[in-house]
């Protein structure tokens, strides 16, 4: 009989037998998948696991600090952290194409990760939180190209000749959450909405600049706060702000404004392969909109995305 407990026992035994005395590294993002993988592998091999957290500078407000604080204070994982903010911003300069952004962020990530991993001795394995839907969406299927180049740390295993440990390959997100709770991770780590590896980089339409990142971060923080305060954060799959590459006319006092537009996106889903736009209460939408327009300098309009996947995708890029 398959139970979460038997899954944990079997997987832990498997990992232990496979790894032996070697070392394992893992890219920790603070998201549910990588946190659960880290906890599971740590249960199997303890300090033979080293986690690396890369701050791409494309994270939400305060995210890196709170993720690192959590792992250092609440877990016994060994975590190395690297600040790649300037590195990523300069590699994205002038780049508007979504897949090109993903590629550059992915390569940059690998470069930093590889440099850190090389400093450790005897690393033979890379543990990562690939889930069942990731397996489906990023391989070519019946001869069709992958939908988007969802990367975890693609390319790294070949370059560093690492073998992959992917204990979540057959699980869906809700099962991963259950597993995480079973492993003793607190709810704050488990009930987090998914956040894409390329982060806010693919939520800024057009080139990413420090100034545009700042606008999006402020708007996104308001969305997050209002979703949490209203109890909707955990009811939806994802909710976030997107910065559009256009400006529109508005009016403030007696003057005309010509400023940015923020799109709100909130979706319901089980596995991200299909998604419906969330029917958030008008009152909540209204509050988010008012706050963004009043509090975020440079934004004079907020729109709500009412497209489902397919044919739209969850992210705008």
Residues of this chain that interact with ligand XMP (CB under 6 A) are 102, 148, 150-151, 194, 196-198, 238, 272, 309, 313-315
Least distance between ligand XMP and beta carbon 120 (Å): 24
Least distance between ligand XMP and beta carbon 153 (Å): 10
Nearer to ligand XMP, 117 or 202 (CB): 202
Least distance between ligand XMP and beta carbon 21 (Å): 31
Whether 114 and 84 have beta carbons less than 8 Å apart is answered as: no
Nearer to ligand XMP, 305 or 315 (CB): 315
Least distance between ligand XMP and beta carbon 164 (Å): 16
33 is in an annotated binding site: yes
Nearer to ligand XMP, 8 or 275 (CB): 275
Least distance between ligand XMP and beta carbon 238 (Å): 6
Distance CA 47, CA 24 (A): 9
As given in the structure block, the two tokens for residue 306 are 């009412």
CA angle 125/127/129 to nearest 5° reads 160
Nearer to ligand XMP, 110 or 272 (CB): 272
Nearer to ligand XMP, 259 or 305 (CB): 305
Least distance between ligand XMP and beta carbon 191 (Å): 15
As given in the structure block, the two tokens for residue 304 are 């709500």
31 is in an annotated binding site: yes
30 is in an annotated binding site: yes
Distance CA 97, CA 317 (A): 9
Nearer to ligand XMP, 108 or 196 (CB): 196
**DSSP per-residue string spanning the chain:** ---HHHHHHHHHHHHHHHHTT-EEEEE--SSHHHHHHHHHHHHHHGGGEEEEEEE-S-SPTTHHHHHHHHHHHH---EEEEEE-HHHHHHHTTT---HHHHHHHHHHHHHHHHHHHHHTSSSEEEEE----HHHHHHHS-BTTBPPSS---SSTTHHHHHTPEEE-TTTT--HHHHHHHHHHTT--HHHHSPPP--TTGGGGSBSS---HHHHHHHHHHHHHHHHHHHHTT-TTTSSEEEEEEEEEEEEEEETTEEEEEEEEEEEEEE-SSSSSBEE----HHHHHHHHHHHHHHSTTEEEEEE----BTTS-SS--
Least distance between ligand XMP and beta carbon 136 (Å): 11
29 is in an annotated binding site: yes
153 is in an annotated binding site: no
Nearer to ligand XMP, 12 or 32 (CB): 32
Q: Which residues are documented as binding site?
A: 29-35
The binding site for ATP consists of: 29-35
């Amino acid at each position: 009989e398959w139970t979460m407990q038997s899954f944990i026992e079997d997987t832990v035994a498997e990992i232990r037998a496979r790894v032996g005395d070697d070392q394992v590294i893992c890219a920790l993002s603070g998201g549910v998948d990588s946190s659960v993988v880290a906890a599971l592998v740590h249960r199997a091999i303890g300090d033979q696991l080293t986690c690396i957290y890369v701050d791409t500078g494309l994270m939400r407000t305060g995210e890196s600090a709170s993720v690192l604080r959590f792992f250092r204070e609440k877990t016994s994982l060994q975590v190395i952290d690297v600040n790649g903010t300037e590195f990523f911003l300069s590699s994205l300069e002038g780049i508007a194409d979504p897949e090109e952004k993903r590629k550059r962020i992915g390569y940059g990530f690998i470069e930093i990760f590889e440099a850190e991993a090389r400093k450790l001795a005897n690393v033979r394995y890379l543990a990562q939180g690939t889930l069942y839907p990731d397996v489906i969406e990023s391989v070519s299927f019946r001869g069709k190209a992958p939908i988007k180049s969802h990367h975890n740390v693609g390319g790294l295993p070949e370059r560093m000749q690492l073998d992959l440990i992917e204990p979540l390959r057959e699980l869906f997100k809700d099962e991963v959450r259950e597993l995480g709770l079973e492993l003793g991770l607190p709810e704050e780590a488990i009930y987090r909405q998914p956040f894409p590896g390329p982060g806010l980089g693919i939520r800024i339409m057009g080139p990413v600049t420090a100034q545009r990142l700042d606008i999006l971060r402020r708007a996104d923080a308001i969305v997050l706060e209002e979703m949490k305060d209203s109890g909707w954060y955990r009811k939806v799959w994802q909710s976030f702000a997107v910065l559009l590459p256009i400006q529109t006319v508005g009016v403030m006092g007696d003057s005309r404004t010509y400023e940015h537009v923020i799109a709100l996106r909130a979706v319901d889903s089980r596995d991200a392969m299909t998604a419906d736009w969330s029917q958030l209460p008008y009152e909540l939408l209204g509050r988010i909109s008012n706050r963004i327009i009043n509090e975020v300098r440079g934004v004079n309009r907020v729109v709500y995305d009412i497209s489902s996947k397919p044919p739209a995708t969850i992210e705008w890029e």
